[in-house]
Amino acid sequence: MVSSDRKTIGLTRRALLASAGTALVAGQAFVAGEAAAQVAKQTFPQWVASFRARAQAKGISDAVYDRVTQGLKPDTSVYAKDNAQPEFREELWQYLNRRISEWRIVTGNAAAAKNAALLKRLEADYGVAPDVLLGLWGMESAFGELVKDPDHMKPVFASLGALAWGEPRRRKYWETEFLNALAVVQRGWGQPSEMLGSWAGAMGHTQWMPEVWLRLGVDFDGDGRPSPYSIGDALAGSSRYLIVRGRYQRGLPWGFEVMPGMADKLADAKTVRSVEQWAGLGIKPVDGRRFAYPKAATRLWAPAGTNGPCFLLTQNFYAVRSYNPSMNYALAVCHLGDRVLGEGPFVTQFPGGERALTLAEVQEVQKRLTGAGFDTGGTDGRVGNMTMRAVAGFQRKVGLETNGYAGLDVLSALRKGR
């Protein structure tokens, strides 16, 4: 889900997932098959032995420490993943197209229908609207599809242990999260073997870091323990996060799409005015109607500049952004939730953008790539890491821009047999 207290860390979870800084670089020395710690001149077993005192000071029993660390091997692949983030750079329209794909919308439709009663309860209890929760769930784990996907989720203690031992820039952060993960086990909330997560230790349907599991976890399903692997608990914990750390406001939409032209001249994503004050300056909604929520405090944002989509953003957009310090991420979450619940695409198109491939077209790309010797990991129409790598490999081979984006040019080249 999200990181430890930003007053202490200075970063949210996704900042760490996306760019945790320079870790151990390629070519770092390897000793007996394990990466040597860059700063602490200890082997991993020596680090485990020396770290016990830290765990004891935090109330972790020797029994729990032994249970977690017995036979633990550091997942040194996390260093390359840390250093390589992000793997592919995308224009905003590409970023949105890939994440708000037909596959994700269809999958989200099914998830929304199946969990309609749960989403209604969550909104009643926390005030967080279903569109926001669906957008977060879809972005963080593709509505649960990635929770146990071995291409995405690995044993958390192996990842956090490697980072706490051998990643020097934010070692204190990784050590703290290793301790937090131990505390989860100490409380009986999670078993080491079931704690699978991203390379940085984020777990479950809405990707909680251990600190969030401890501080903001909610036992919404009533089984006696909060768990990010429970849909109800995960969405409840995320709701609590948005309220506590994002200052989410009940009953307020995330924002409004507005007409470009005047908007892109005034937009700075900083100046706060009420909706009616922006309207007085000539800002108009794209649907030609009157603005709702005239007293709502908003900021004006034009992410694509002149003639691109423009938005008035409420506090709830920034609540979503607290989950990940990226405007693009927050826009994708909010728009995905809207699309899942039946709203259409943005009215104004992105300059230089193109439509997203349909589900059938993505499946065709995957099938043709597989036939050409590029492993996509399946042909289900979901563009995951393996499909992006396969696309990038094909792009390099045929001389297209190597960005991993499955667009119309890639489909055309595959159809031509290039």
The total of other beta-carbon atoms located within 10 Å of residue 286's CB is 17
| Domain identity same for 303 and 271 | yes
| Domain identity same for 310 and 378 | no
Q: Are 123 and 129 in contact (CB under 8 A)?
A: yes
| Domain identity same for 260 and 325 | yes
31 located within any domain: no
Pairing of strands 154-155, 255-258: unpaired
Specify the number of domains making up the chain: 2
**How high is the pLDDT of residue 73?**
96
Distance CA 277, CA 283 (A): 9
| Domain identity same for 262 and 322 | yes
Q: Which of 303, 319, 335 is the last residue of a domain?
A: 335
178 located within any domain: no
Q: Are 341 and 131 in contact (CB under 8 A)?
A: yes
* DSSP characters over 201-255: --BTTTTB-HHHHHHH----S-SSS--TTSHHHHHHHHHHHHHHTT---TT--SE
Q: What is the pLDDT along the chain (418 residues), one digit of tens a residue?
A: 454 333 333 334 444 443 333 232 222 333 333 444 445 578 999 999 999 999 999 999 999 999 999 999 999 999 877 665 444 578 999 999 999 999 999 999 999 999 999 999 999 999 999 999 999 999 999 999 999 888 889 999 999 999 999 998 899 999 999 999 999 999 999 999 999 999 999 999 999 999 999 999 999 999 999 999 999 999 999 999 999 999 999 999 999 999 998 887 899 999 999 999 999 999 999 988 889 999 999 999 999 988 899 999 999 999 999 999 999 999 999 999 999 999 999 999 999 999 999 999 999 999 999 999 999 999 999 998 899 999 999 999 999 999 999 999 999 999 998 6
30 located within any domain: no
- What domain range is 277 assigned to? 255-335
Residue type, 367: K
Q: Which of 282, 301, 335 is the last residue of a domain?
A: 335
**How high is the pLDDT of residue 84?**
52
**How high is the pLDDT of residue 359?**
96
DSSP state of 257: E
| Domain identity same for 273 and 328 | yes
* Main-chain phi, psi angles of 19, to 5 degrees: -155, 65
Residues 6+ apart with CB under 8 A from 170: 16, 20, 21, 163
Residue type, 265: K
277 located within any domain: yes
Q: CA-based diameter of the chain, in Å?
A: 69
187 located within any domain: no
| Domain identity same for 325 and 366 | no
**Cα distances (Å, whole numbers) of residue 384 to 17, 78, 152, 165, 248:** 16, 19, 9, 30, 30
Distance CA 139, CA 132 (A): 11
Distance CA 169, CA 400 (A): 36
Residues 6+ apart with CB under 8 A from 67: 185, 192
**How high is the pLDDT of residue 131?**
98
Distance CA 239, CA 320 (A): 10
* DSSP characters over 38-52: SSS---HHHHHHHHH
318 located within any domain: yes
| Domain identity same for 326 and 366 | no
Nearest in space to 49 (alpha carbons), one of 72, 78, 76, 77: 72
Joined tokens for residue 170: 């934010």
382 located within any domain: yes
Distance CA 177, CA 316 (A): 28
For residue 295, give the CATH number of its domain: 1.10.530.10
| Domain identity same for 320 and 386 | no
Residues 6+ apart with CB under 8 A from 339: 100, 105, 108, 345
| Domain identity same for 259 and 331 | yes
**How high is the pLDDT of residue 15?**
40
* Main-chain phi, psi angles of 30, to 5 degrees: -120, 140
Q: Which of 279, 301, 335 is the last residue of a domain?
A: 335
341 located within any domain: no
| Domain identity same for 268 and 309 | yes
